[in-house]
C-alpha cells in the first residue's frame, strides 16, 4: 500500500457509517452518538451543500471521531475535502485520475470497484484495499467471494444494501475487512434528534461484529 492502511484505521470497529447530513449541528451530534456506541470512524458523503462544513465541524468539535469523506468523484473534491479536515477518502467509483488524486494526499483511501477490470487498475496503482459498491446490486457477498479467489491480495469493504441482518454473510469472507452502511443512522432518528437511539443502534452493530470475532 502506498497510503496508510484503511483496514488498520477501522480495525477496532470495522464498520463505516455513511452519513448524509443536511445540518452541521446534526453532524456533530450524530458523530458523538456513534462514538458513544463504539464506532470510531464516520464517512460524511458529498451529497448536500453543507457536507464540507460538516466534515470541518466534526473534525474540530469531535476530535475523538475519525471523520472522512465519501462520494468523491473529482480531484477538486479531494482537495476541498482534505482542506476541510477529512482524515480518509472514499469514492463510489474508479478512475486512474481520481485514484491518483486520492493517493497523492497520503491519507487512507478506498476507491470504489465492482469489476475485475477496475480491481486490476487499482492494483496497477498499488491499491489493495477497495470499496465494493453498490454491493447488493452487484451480487453482494457471493460476488466478492468469487473475486477474492482471483484477487487474493485485495481486501474489500462492501457498501450498499449491507445491514445488521446480512452482515455475518459478508464477514464470513476473510477478504472483507469492514462493511459500510447507514442502518444505524436512519433519517427519522436524525430528524427527531434521537441521539440515544443512534448510540444504541451503533452499540448493537459493534456487539454483533464482536460476536463474529472481527473486532480487535
Q: What is the pLDDT of residues 91-139, one digit of tens each?
A: 999 999 999 999 999 999 999 999 999 999 999 999 999 999 999 999 9
SS (H, E, C) 124-175: HCCCCEEEECCCHHHCHHHHHHHHHHHCCCCEEEEECCCCCCCHHHHHCCCC
Q: Which residues are catalytic?
A: 43, 131
Q: What is the pLDDT of residues 30-85, one digit of tens each?
A: 999 999 999 999 999 999 999 999 999 999 999 999 999 999 999 999 999 999 99
> Radius of gyration of the chain from Cα atoms?
16
Q: What percent of the chain has pLDDT over 70?
A: 98
Three-state secondary-structure class, residue 30: helix
DSSP letter, residue 9: H
Strand order in the sheet with 112-113: 112-113, 129-132, 155-158
Give the β-pairing of 66-70 and 41-45: parallel
- List residues bridging with 66 in a β-sheet: 41
Phi then psi for 157, rounded to 5 degrees? -125, 95
pLDDT at 216 > cutoff 60: no
pTM value?
A: 0.96
pLDDT at 214 > cutoff 70: no
Amino acid at each position: 500500500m502506498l497510503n496508510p492502511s484503511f483496514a488498520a484505521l477501522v480495525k477496532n470497529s470495522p464498520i463505516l457509517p455513511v452519513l448524509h447530513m443536511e445540518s452541521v449541528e446534526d453532524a456533530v451530534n450524530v458523530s458523538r452518538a456513534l462514538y458513544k456506541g463504539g464506532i470510531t470512524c464516520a464517512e460524511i458523503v458529498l451529497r448536500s451543500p453543507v457536507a464540507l462544513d460538516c466534515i470541518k465541524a466534526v473534525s474540530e468539535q469531535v476530535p475523538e471521531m475519525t471523520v472522512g469523506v465519501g462520494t468523491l468523484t473529482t480531484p477538486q473534491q479531494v482537495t476541498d475535502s482534505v482542506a476541510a479536515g477529512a482524515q480518509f477518502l472514499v469514492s463510489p467509483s474508479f478512475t486512474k485520475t481520481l485514484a491518483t488524486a486520492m493517493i497523492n494526499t497520503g491519507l487512507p483511501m478506498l476507491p470504489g470497484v465492482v469489476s475485475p477490470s477496475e480491481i486490476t487498475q487499482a492494483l496497477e496503482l498499488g491499491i489493495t484495499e477497495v470499496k465494493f459498491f453498490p454491493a447488493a446490486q452487484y451480487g453482494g457477498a457471493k460476488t466478492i467471494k468469487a473475486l477474492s479467489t482471483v484477487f487474493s491480495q485485495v481486501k474489500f469493504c462492501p457498501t450498499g444494501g449491507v445491514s445488521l441482518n446480512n452482515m455475518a454473510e459478508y464477514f464470513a469472507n476473510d477478504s472483507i475487512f469492514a462493511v459500510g452502511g447507514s442502518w444505524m443512522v436512519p433519517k427519522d432518528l436524525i430528524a427527531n434528534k434521537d441521539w440515544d437511539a443512534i448510540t444504541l443502534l451503533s452499540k448493537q452493530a459493534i456487539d454483533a461484529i464482536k460476536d463474529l470475532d472481527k473486532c480487535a
